[in-house]
Structure 1
Amino acid sequence: MDWTLEVVIVPVSDLGRSIEFYRDKVGFDLDHHTVNEHMTVAQLTPRGSGCSIVIGNLPSQTEMAPGSLKGLQLVVADAATARQELIDRGVDASEVTVFDERDGGTFFGFADPDGNTWAVQQLKVRGDKPLIPKEYRDRFGA
């Protein structure tokens, strides 16, 4: 049986500011933003990912303090290009560091406005072999 990780709750203090950060600065797709008498929730997904983040005010989202999630990890085919895209959009990203010359050993990081931190790992193989094939993404918008 396959077990897939599809949602990670990210604790934030200001939903609007966080949507703007993840959508407009980091480049995640806003899948939905639901506001009703029971909840205010947004789901955002990095392009090419099968896993989304969810932010909002449900009990599972308010049990963690905003900014307390550390070390979420994204993977890109080219760390230098990805870092420059974030910097161009106004994200304060750390320098690219090569811990190991083999594929997967290059990283940089950034934090959201609340202090939740992200590591970005370079896996060059993702340029040729994305986890979600381009044909599927083009057809279904994933």
Structure 2
Amino acid sequence: MDWTLEVIVLPVSDIGRAVAFYRDQVGFHLDHDTQTEQMHVVQLTPRGSGCSIVIGDLPAQNEMAPGSMRGLQLVVSDAKAAREELLSRGVEASEIVTFDARDGGTFFGFSDPDGNSWAVQELRVRAEKPLIPLEARGRFGGDD
């Protein structure tokens, strides 16, 4: 039996600001934005990822301090291009650091407006072998 990690709850102080940051600046896909009288929950997914982030105001989410998530990790096939994309969208990103010349040893980072921090690792092999094949992407089989 597979056990897949598919959602990470991300604590934020302002849901609208977080949606704008992750959707418009970082480029995550907005899966859903559900608001009722009792709650507001939003799910966003990085392109090519099987794991999403969820932000909102449910009791369990309110137990975590905004900005308290550290070192969440994204993987890209080209760190330089990914960093340039973020910078062009107004995201502050650290310089690229190569700890090891082998594939997987290059990183940079960024933080959201609350201070939740992300490491971005370059795995060049992902250009030829995506973790999730193109035909299997999206919640409904396409690249949605």
TM-score bracket, normalised by the shorter chain, equals: over 0.9
Q: Deviations over 1:23-70 (max 9, x none)?
A: 000000000000002210100000000000000001121111000100
Residue identity (%): 69
Q: How large is the Cα RMSD of the aligned pairs?
A: 1.1
Count of residue pairs brought into register by the alignment: 142
- Alignment partners' CA distance in 2, 1:9 and 1:135: 27
State the 1:137 CA deviation: 2.8
The ranges of structure 1 where at least 4 consecutive aligned residues each deviate by more than 4 angstroms after the TM superposition are none
Q: What corresponds to 2:98 in structure 1?
A: 98
Cross-structure match for 2:10: 10
1:49 paired to 2:17: no
Q: Which runs of 5+ in 2 are unaligned?
A: none
Stretch moving more, 54-63 or 89-98: 54-63
Query: What one-letter code is carried by the residue in structure 2 that aligns with 1:72?
Result: L
State the partner residue of 1:135: 135
Gaps of 5+ in 1: none
The one-letter amino acid of 1:38's match is Q
Please, what TM-score do these two structures have when normalized by structure 1? 0.97
> Is 2:114 the partner of 1:114?
yes
TM-score by length of 2: 0.95
Q: Distance in 1 between matches of 2:134 and 2:118?
A: 25
C-alpha contact (below 8 Å) 2:134/2:143 kept by paired residues: no
